[in-house]
Amino acid sequence: MSTNPASTANSLVRPAIAALAGYVPGEQPQGGKWIKLNTNENPYAPSPAVARAIIATAAGRTLAKYPDPLATVFRMRAAEILGVDPDWIICGNGSDDLLTILVRTFVGAGECLRMPYPSYILYRTLAGIQGATCDEFHYSADWTLADGFAAPQSAAGDDVKLAIIANPNSPSGTLLSPGRIKELADRLPCALVVDEAYGDFADSNCLDLVRQNDRVIVTRSFSKSYALAGLRFGFAVAQPHVIEQLLKVKDSYNCDALSIAAATAAIDDRAWLAENRAKIIATRRRLTDAMRGLGYDAVESQANFVWCTHPTRPHKPVYEALKKQGVLIRFMNYAGWGDGLRITVGTDAEIDAFLACMKTL
């Protein structure tokens, strides 16, 4: 074994990687009886059609063969439902995979990725892996985005090559209207990804903008609204000539046969989605009102979580006290912005248990 630190493998890693902090996902305790309100998973079981599709796929010889690189059955079914042609869709191993593909496609070393702040921290990590910079443009106090978001260069002078907006945003749960997204897309010097991981819980989405503007790309996830975070499936919608470029960057077999079959069954069950959405939205209302009753500023949410801050009471001890009682919520501390509590909308029973704990604190 070498004792010379200069010759260890770590000294051979690209400087951009060595400098990375690395993305840290929320706690995923395995086992134990947690009430888990920390990573925006859906509290309900997925459509029963999902299990049937997985079992049918696993039973035959399908798994002996490589999966369809384009996930054609999913693309055809999703295209029909969304009202686009199949070649407007690319599938991924979760929408995180699509975000990776998008950043690799549009942003090179020394260039810049623009994102609002605070938002989904993964975008920053993806820029870092590319050796690119990340220009974090602060939301206004009311969670709107000023025109400066569309400036062609970062403060450091790097050219902005891609912008990503989570819409609805995390942690705020707030939504920018399609009209506002259109204005920003028209001003930006680059493509704009609208990350609609929570889009199914919102009042509007940006699919129409994709039809109007080839610089707008929408990503969707099966992890939240379809209750399939453990499956790993997502897709992006863009005009066909953009999809063609993205397909060059993706891994050949980025989606496996089980997830393709399961996601196709899930998107086909329109009634399940509508019913689940209605339940989540009703519980979101109750959670928001109850937190306001406890003296919190709870932001009106268009997603499946609620961002809460208290004018005087520190947030971290609340997170810690709840954890001792078996309730996990997300304490977020954004450097240069502030901290708060992000609470996922669980079942009514879970939210009741959470609120009962809150009242004893």
Ligand X SMILES: *Cc1c(COP(=O)(O)O)cnc(C)c1O
User: What residues line the site for ligand X (CB under 6 A)?
Assistant: 40, 94-96, 120, 166, 170, 195, 197, 221, 223, 229, 234
Distance CA 215, CA 271 (A): 32
Which are the contacts of 231, defined by CB distance < 8 A and separation ≥ 6?
50, 222, 223, 258, 259, 262, 263
Nearer to ligand X, 120 or 331 (CB): 120
Nearer to ligand X, 67 or 168 (CB): 168
Nearer to ligand X, 170 or 302 (CB): 170
Question: Which residues on adjacent β-strands are paired with residue 64?
Answer: none
CB hemisphere CA count around 262 (13 angstroms): 26
Nearer to ligand X, 23 or 34 (CB): 23
Smallest gap, in angstroms, from Cβ of residue 223 to ligand X? 3
Containing 244, the helix (H) or strand (E) segment is helix 240-249
Containing 36, the helix (H) or strand (E) segment is strand 35-37
Smallest gap, in angstroms, from Cβ of residue 342 to ligand X? 10
Smallest gap, in angstroms, from Cβ of residue 179 to ligand X? 21
Nearer to ligand X, 138 or 310 (CB): 138
CB-nearest residue to ligand X: 94
Nearer to ligand X, 112 or 197 (CB): 197
Pairing, β 327-334 against β 338-344:
antiparallel
| Helix/strand/coil for 103 | helix
Smallest gap, in angstroms, from Cβ of residue 335 to ligand X? 19
Nearest to 245 by CA among 133, 101, 108: 101
Smallest gap, in angstroms, from Cβ of residue 100 to ligand X? 10
Smallest gap, in angstroms, from Cβ of residue 305 to ligand X? 9
CB hemisphere CA count around 216 (13 angstroms): 25
